[in-house]
């Protein structure tokens, strides 16, 4: 990538909710944006941490031990192996940083599961 990228603009341009799009790479991690609305569903990533940064709106990340409320500009790292459920009561734009090996719906395949090829815009 040889030009600057606006994560917020890239997320706002997405048409489909809960369908991450890769906007960059950092070593063995992808930088992804997504547009969220509603409830994603409980899942975990056994071997990878997952960073959520709210670009616009609010995000609630439900955990089995409680919940974390994120406002614009705030971030939270979900530790590997932690079951979590992202919830956006209103439209929310986020930046995710995940290892390239991370399956965004964890080990569960749902209607929201997107392959890496789809997230890269190749499919």
| pLDDT greater than 50 at residue 118 | yes
Report d(CA 37, CA 96) in Å as an integer.
Answer: 16
Q: Is the pLDDT of residue 99 over 80?
A: yes
Distance of alpha carbon 105 from the chain centroid: 10
The pLDDT of residue 123 is 46
Prediction pTM value: 0.83
Distances (CA, A) of 68 to 55, 58, 76, 87, 108: 16, 11, 8, 10, 23
The label of the residue with tokens 């941490």 reads: 49
At 54-88, the pLDDT tens digits run 999 999 999 999 999 999 999 999 999 999 999 99
């Amino acid at each position: 990538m040889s030009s600057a990228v606006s994560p917020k603009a890239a997320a706002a341009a997405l048409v489909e909710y809960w369908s991450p799009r890769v906007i960059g790479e950092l070593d063995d991690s992808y930088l992804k944006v997504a547009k969220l609305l509603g409830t994603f569903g409980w899942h975990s990533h056994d071997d990878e941490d997952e960073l959520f940064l709210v670009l616009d709106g609010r995000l609630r990340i439900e955990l089995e031990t409680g919940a974390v409320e994120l406002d614009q500009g705030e971030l939270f790292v979900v530790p590997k192996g932690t079951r979590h459920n992202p919830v956006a009561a209103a439209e929310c734009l986020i930046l995710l940083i995940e290892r390239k090996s991370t399956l965004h719906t964890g080990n569960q395949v749902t209607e929201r599961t997107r392959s890496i090829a789809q997230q890269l815009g190749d499919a």
